[in-house]
Amino acid sequence: MLRNVTLPTGRRADIAVADGLVRHVGAAVRADETIDCTGYTCLPGAVDMHVHMRGGVQAGKEDWRTGTTSAVAGGVTVVVDQPNTVPPITTPELLRARVREAEERAVCGFAVNAAVVPDADLAGMCRAGAMAFGETFAAPSSYGEGLDAETLRGLFDRIHALEGLVTIHAEEVSGPAPATLADHDRARSGAGEARAVQKIAGLAPAGMQLHFCHLSTAASVRAARGTVEVTPHHLFLSHDNFDPDDTRARVNPPLRDEKTRRDLWSCWDRIDVVASDHAPHTVPEKSVPFETAPSGIPGVETMVPLLMAAVQSGRITLASVIEKTSWKPAAILGIPHAGFEPGDRADYALYPDEITRIDASRLHTKCGWSPFEGLEAVFPEEVIVGGTRAYAHGDLREERPVWYPGRGYLPL
């Protein structure tokens, strides 16, 4: 039982939970355990539909346990893992193995996407429970090879025939290996990203469910067809915040200049989803010359806390954060809705009014660092997953791994 919950409408009510679902909203009823929400802002658990949980041979960077603990500590109760693992998820057998790995190690809800390459068994992975197809690389990135237009068109046709959701990494890449963050920005320019978005939208069959990942400029957001995702690092960071050759800020698409970052906020109402693109690399991996450093940064634990600080400062509304981090991603993916009505998934995070600053030493990701160090944030005090208190006051309490298969899933 959650008592004294202030609902998004402003009404205060008690929420009775059983078997992971909301059963009653209104006056209090008898319960085995009660959580008093007085003084907290209660949000539905976030769905981060773009994470790289690593594991397997990359477990030194992150694994399912550390990555999902980090997620829960940031108010995220469902994560969607991307398939550019080592090896990439291209067969039903590899997808099932990835799900088993998550079932053994994860502490919250999860889904797994299927890789989109010419020789992938797309239909087999759909039946095996792939949530979506992609991140599909229209340009090369860490552990992902770029696909040309004709190859993409053929793969889109195959995915559309399966009634699948395709998620797109859209960029243009040019020039020599960059030596600085500004070089990286120019090599994967915002203008090139917008052109890639337009081109890819033109390749997709009419009616296809198309989702653009991590768009980094206002022009790209406006050019997109389908649903649009942005990341906290493109909203809150620019390459002007870092030394020119700071590899910790190297990510694809690149951090932009300060003006471009501010302009991205002008599209807040058009943005459907905020997702972290949590892509941890170790400090030694990042401590190499810029030209050879891997792209990617951690962010699943800081995503909602950064947005909650923006709510408290009056920059955005609480309703828009709920929509973009919980309700819209759940709707896009077709998974049960977390919320405040009978039948909703009973996933919640309780946020205090106190704004703190991000301290990487207090985060739970295995990689041990954050590009958001020192930024204002509001971290949840308690997180409920499936009606169970999973995290409280800095400590993991319960493990609630729940697999969410995609719409095409056919049990063996």
Q: What is the CATH number of the domain that holds 224?
A: 3.20.20.140
The whole-number pLDDT of residue 220 equals 98
On whether 135 is known to bind a ligand per the annotation, the reply is yes
For residues 63-92, give the mean pLDDT: 98
- Residue 273 sits at φ, ψ, to 5 deg, of -140, 135
Helices 149-161 and 190-203: angle between axes, nearest 10 degrees? 50
Helix (H) or strand (E) holding 122, with range, is: helix 122-128
At 246, the amino acid letter reads D
The whole-number pLDDT of residue 29 equals 73
Where would I find the H helices in 244-381? 258-265, 283-286, 303-312, 318-322, 328-333
Report yes or no on 391 lying in a domain. no
On whether 233 is known to bind a ligand per the annotation, the reply is no
On whether 241 is known to bind a ligand per the annotation, the reply is no
For residues 104-117, give the mean pLDDT: 98
- Percent of the chain predicted with pLDDT > 90: 93
At 300, the amino acid letter reads V
The whole-number pLDDT of residue 153 equals 95
The whole-number pLDDT of residue 33 equals 86
On whether 234 is known to bind a ligand per the annotation, the reply is no
Report yes or no on 375 lying in a domain. no
- Each residue of 206-260: pLDDT tens digit? 999 999 999 999 999 999 999 999 999 999 999 999 999 999 999 999 999 999 9
User: How many domains is the chain partitioned into structurally?
Assistant: 1
Report yes or no on 119 lying in a domain. yes
Active site residues: 277
- Percent of the chain predicted with pLDDT > 70: 99
On whether 169 is known to bind a ligand per the annotation, the reply is yes
The whole-number pLDDT of residue 306 equals 98
CA distance 66 to 71: 9
Write out the DSSP string of 331-342.
HHHT-PPBSSST
Report yes or no on 248 lying in a domain. yes
For residues 266-275, give the mean pLDDT: 98
Report yes or no on 11 lying in a domain. no
On whether 53 is known to bind a ligand per the annotation, the reply is yes
Per-residue confidence band for 31, with pLDDT thresholds at 50, 70 and 90? confident
- Each residue of 155-167: pLDDT tens digit? 999 999 999 999 9
Average per-residue pLDDT for the chain? 96
For residues 56-85, give the mean pLDDT: 97
CA distance 407 to 204: 20
On whether 4 is known to bind a ligand per the annotation, the reply is no
Q: Which of 13-17, 71-75, 268-272 has the lowest mean pLDDT?
A: 13-17
Residues 173 and 139: beta-carbon distance below 8 Å = yes
The whole-number pLDDT of residue 109 equals 98
The whole-number pLDDT of residue 298 equals 98
The whole-number pLDDT of residue 169 equals 96
Per-residue confidence band for 144, with pLDDT thresholds at 50, 70 and 90? low
Detail the DSSP E strand segments found in 138-281: 165-169, 209-212, 227-230, 273-274
The whole-number pLDDT of residue 7 equals 84
pLDDT at 139 over 90: no
Structure tokens of 134? Answer: 């992609």
pLDDT at 141 over 80: no
For residues 361-372, give the mean pLDDT: 97
Report yes or no on 379 lying in a domain. no
Report yes or no on 100 lying in a domain. yes
Q: Which domain holds residue 126?
A: 45-338
Report yes or no on 99 lying in a domain. yes
Cross-strand bridge partners of residue 274: 230
Strand order in the sheet with 382-385: 41-44, 348-351, 382-385, 388-392, 395-396
**Residues of 255-274 as b/e, b for ≥16 C-beta within 10 angstroms?**
bbbeebbebbbebbeebbbb
The whole-number pLDDT of residue 146 equals 86
Per-residue confidence band for 142, with pLDDT thresholds at 50, 70 and 90? low
- Each residue of 292-342: pLDDT tens digit? 999 999 999 999 999 999 999 999 999 999 999 999 999 999 999 999 999
